[in-house]
Amino acid sequence: MAYVDGFVIPVPPGKKEAYRAMAARVADAFLELGALEIMEAWEDDVPAGRVTDFRRAVKAQEGESIVFSWVVWPSREARDAGNTKLMNDPRLKSDDVPFNPQRMIHGGFRPIFTTRESDRGDPA
């Protein structure tokens, strides 16, 4: 079964196109190193919660937009190997990151259910 890296990122006002360009550049590296799919989704309907929400999770500041992103890998092993190589890839070595990486949240996830036929199987 596939493995998923998930991200929530606050992006400052006026940085949407810079973020999209960076995401496209980095996506090429992810795909070359084994990722199956990359999704970058710009906020459209992100409500404030009573207790917590996406904005609070990343300490979004006034005017910042939320990006919800994920990378699908064939397995945890493929993800670990790909991420190790990515750390040395020049496409990720940019001083011009259009957001504050310290407020990005991310993690790796093992799917427990999917409607994608190719990924169905033993969730263990």
User: Cβ contacts of residue 21 below 8 Å, gap of 6+?
Assistant: none
Tell me the chain's radius of gyration from C-alpha atoms: 15
Residue 52 tokens, joined: 């917590």
CATH code 3.30.70.60 for 3-119: no
How many whole angstroms separate alpha carbon 122 and alpha carbon 113?
Answer: 10
Helix (H, G, I), strand (E, B) or coil at 113: coil
Structure pTM?
0.88
Which of 104, 89, 19 shows the shortest CA–CA distance to 59? 104
Q: What is the mean pLDDT of the chain?
A: 91
Q: Where are the domains of the chain?
A: 3-119
Secondary structure tally for the chain: helices H, strands E: 3, 4
Looking at residue 122, its pLDDT comes to 54
Looking at residue 16, its pLDDT comes to 97
Single-letter code of the amino acid located at 70? W
Q: Which residue has the higher pLDDT, 114 or 119?
A: 114
